[in-house]
Amino acid sequence: MKKLSTFSAMVFYMVMNGQYCTPAFQYGADSNMITNVSFGNINNTSTSQSANAQVYEDFTSMSADIQAGNTYQISVKGPSSTFPSDVMVYIDFNKNGSFDDAGEGFYIGRLGAANPFNALTVTGTVSVPADAASGVTRMRVMKNTNTAAYSDSNAPNSILTACDTGLRAGQTEDYTVNITGSNVVFPAPYCGTENITTLTVSEITKVEFTGITNESNINGASDVLENFTGTVFNVNRGNSYPITITGETQGQTTVSAYAYIDLNHNDTFDTHEVFHLGYLDNSDPIPGKESGVTTGTISIPADAMLGETRFRIVKAYESNSWMGTLENLPCPAGWFIGQAEDYTLNVLASNLGTSETVKKAPARIYPNPTSGTVTLKTEEKLEKYEVYNSSAQKILEGTSDIVNMDGLTSGTYLIRIYTGDKKIITEKIIKK
C-alpha cells in the first residue's frame, strides 16, 4: 500500500472533500459493508463489525499508481445479508470534481448474499483512458443491496450514480489514484494498419482546414499512417468547414478522400462519424509539386462531445476488379493503395449569439433539474427518446414529448433523443 506524504494527504483531503458529493443509504451499512478493496498497490481491509461500519469511509490517504491507456483488475469483498449487492467503481479521470463523465463508471459485478464471516469477493476491470489527466484524483468504490436481484438474477444495477441518494443498504469508500502518462503507442487506442496485407503508399501531400495548412512529404517513402496529432484544428458545434486534400493519384480515377472523426469519444470511428470529401483529380504525382485535389465540407453536429478527439483523413484507391474490392475505410485493411493521416480535432461550444443559439437549439429539456416529469422540445419532429442510467442501461423509452421520471431515484441520467431528420441528441437530466 502506497501512502501520500502527510502534507500531500492533508492538502489532497482538503481539496477533494470540498468538491465531491456523498451518496446516502436508507438503512446504513449494517451487515452490508465493504470489507476489502484490492486495486494496484492498495489492499485495504476495513471493519466487518456492524456497530463500527459507517456508510462513508475516507481512505484517500491510500494511493495506487495507474497508467493512462492500461487496464487494471479490482476486487471488492463484503457481506450482503439477505439480498445480493451491486458493486460500482468510479474514477474522476478528468479531475473535474465529478464522476458523471462518460467512461468514469465501472460495474464490477454482484455479490451474493453472505454474512460478514463468509463474505464473498467480486472481481472486475477498470480501463484507464489514454487521455486521462495526469496526477492524483479520486476513486470511489460503492456497494448497495439490490432487492430486485433476490428473485431476478438479471435485475438492472441498483447504483445509478456516484452521488446516488436513493441507495438501500451498503457503503462507500473513497481512495486516491495517481495517474501517470500513457504508454500507449500511436495510433492506439484507435486502429492502425495492422490489417493491411498488401500495400502501396500513395501520399497525401497537403491538408487545408480551419485556416491551418499541413504539408507532408511526396517522396514515396512516407509511413502509410502518419502522426500529425500535434496539429489541432479548432471547430465549433453546429458549424460547417471546408477542407481541401491534395495528394498523389498515380493516374487512377477513383481516388477518394474521407474524414473520420470520433465525435462521441468512444475510441472508434462509428458509421455516423464519416465525411465523404470527394475524389481527387486524375493526375500523376510530380516530386515536390501538387497533384490531385479535392475540396469537401465537414459539418460538426450540434451534439458533438466537447474537447479534443481523433481526426483521421484517408485517401485511398477504390475499385472492384481482379485485385478484389478496394475501399476507403477508417481502418485500412487488405490490399490498400493510399495513405492515412491522423490529426486532433478540438470541438468547442457553439459560437452563435444568444438569441440565435436559442432559435437553433436542436432540443430543449425543461425543467432540468426535475422532481418529476420533463418536457422535450425539438426543432425537428420527435421520433422517440431513450433514458439511460450511469451503467448505460436503458430504463425508459417512449415517443411522447413528456418524460415521466417519477419512479426513478435521484441522480443523473442520460437521455438520447431521436428526431425526424435522423439526428441523435444526447443530454443529461438531473432527477432531484
Which has the higher per-residue pLDDT, 240 or 410?
240
pLDDT on residue 221: 81
In a domain, 248, yes or no: yes
Reported confidence tier of residue 367, pLDDT bands at 50, 70, 90: confident
In a domain, 12, yes or no: no
Is the pLDDT at 160 greater than 70? The verdict is: yes
pLDDT on residue 257: 96
**One domain, residues 76 and 101:** yes
- Region 297-310: mean pLDDT is 92
User: 318-339: per-residue pLDDT in tens?
Assistant: 988 776 789 999 999 999 999 9
**Residue partners of 58: CB distance under 8 A and separation at least 6:** 13, 17, 174
In a domain, 289, yes or no: yes
In a domain, 130, yes or no: yes
**One domain, residues 141 and 209:** no
In a domain, 51, yes or no: yes
Is the pLDDT at 202 greater than 70? The verdict is: yes
Give the lowest-confidence range in 12-26, 210-224, 231-245, 385-399. 12-26
State the residue range of the domain holding 290. Answer: 196-348
In a domain, 410, yes or no: yes
**What's the distance, CA 364 to chain centroid?**
23
**One domain, residues 404 and 369:** yes
**One domain, residues 339 and 200:** yes
Q: How many helices (H) and strands (E) does the chain have?
A: 2, 29
Q: Which of the listed residues 298, 323, 348 is the one where a domain comes to its end?
A: 348
**One domain, residues 411 and 369:** yes
**Amino acid sitting at position 402:** I
| Whole-number percent of the chain with pLDDT over 90 | 55
- What CATH number corresponds to the domain at position 371? 2.60.40.1930
- Region 214-227: mean pLDDT is 88
**Amino acid sitting at position 80:** S
Return mean pLDDT, the chain: 86
- What CATH number corresponds to the domain at position 339? 2.60.40.10
**Residue partners of 52: CB distance under 8 A and separation at least 6:** none
Reported confidence tier of residue 17, pLDDT bands at 50, 70, 90: very low
**What's the distance, CA 109 to chain centroid?**
20
Q: What secondary structure letter does DSSP report for 419?
A: E
Q: Which of the listed residues 348, 379, 403 is the one where a domain comes to its end?
A: 348
**One domain, residues 200 and 344:** yes
User: 138-157: per-residue pLDDT in tens?
Assistant: 999 999 999 999 999 889 99
In a domain, 16, yes or no: no
User: 39-83: per-residue pLDDT in tens?
Assistant: 999 999 999 887 788 999 999 999 999 998 889 999 999 999 889
Reported confidence tier of residue 212, pLDDT bands at 50, 70, 90: very high
**One domain, residues 61 and 163:** yes
Compute how many other C-beta atoms are within 10 angstroms of the C-beta atom of residue 326: 20
Grid cell listed for 303: 451534439
Global pTM value: 0.51
pLDDT on residue 287: 60
**Amino acid sitting at position 106:** F
**One domain, residues 123 and 245:** no
Is the pLDDT at 16 greater than 50? The verdict is: no
The domain total for the chain is 3
State the SS3 of 282-332: CCCCCCCCCCEEEEEEEECCCCCCCEEEEEEEEEEECEEECCEEECCCCCC
Q: What secondary structure letter does DSSP report for 181?
A: P
Q: Judge residue 285's burial from the number of C-beta atoms within 10 Å of its C-beta, 0-12 exposed, 13-18 middle, 19 or more buried.
A: buried
**One domain, residues 324 and 373:** no
pLDDT on residue 299: 95
Is the pLDDT at 127 greater than 50? The verdict is: yes
Is the pLDDT at 180 greater than 60? The verdict is: yes
Give the lowest-confidence range in 67-76, 298-307, 416-425. 416-425
| Whole-number percent of the chain with pLDDT over 70 | 90
pLDDT on residue 182: 76
Element (H, E) at 357: helix 354-360
**Interatomic CA distance for residues 289 and 286, integer angstroms:** 5
Q: Which of the listed residues 180, 215, 244 is the one where a domain comes to its end?
A: 180
**Interatomic CA distance for residues 262 and 304, integer angstroms:** 9
**What's the distance, CA 90 to chain centroid?**
13
**Interatomic CA distance for residues 201 and 419, integer angstroms:** 42
In a domain, 358, yes or no: no
- What CATH number corresponds to the domain at position 167? 2.60.40.2950
**One domain, residues 200 and 343:** yes
**One domain, residues 213 and 107:** no
Alpha-carbon torsion, ordered 314, 317, 321, 323, to 10 deg = -80
Largest CA distance in the chain: 81
**Residue partners of 249: CB distance under 8 A and separation at least 6:** 202, 255, 280, 281, 282, 283, 284, 285, 291, 292
**Interatomic CA distance for residues 115 and 300, integer angstroms:** 54
**Interatomic CA distance for residues 105 and 87, integer angstroms:** 11
**One domain, residues 390 and 338:** no
Is the pLDDT at 359 greater than 50? The verdict is: no
- Region 340-354: mean pLDDT is 82
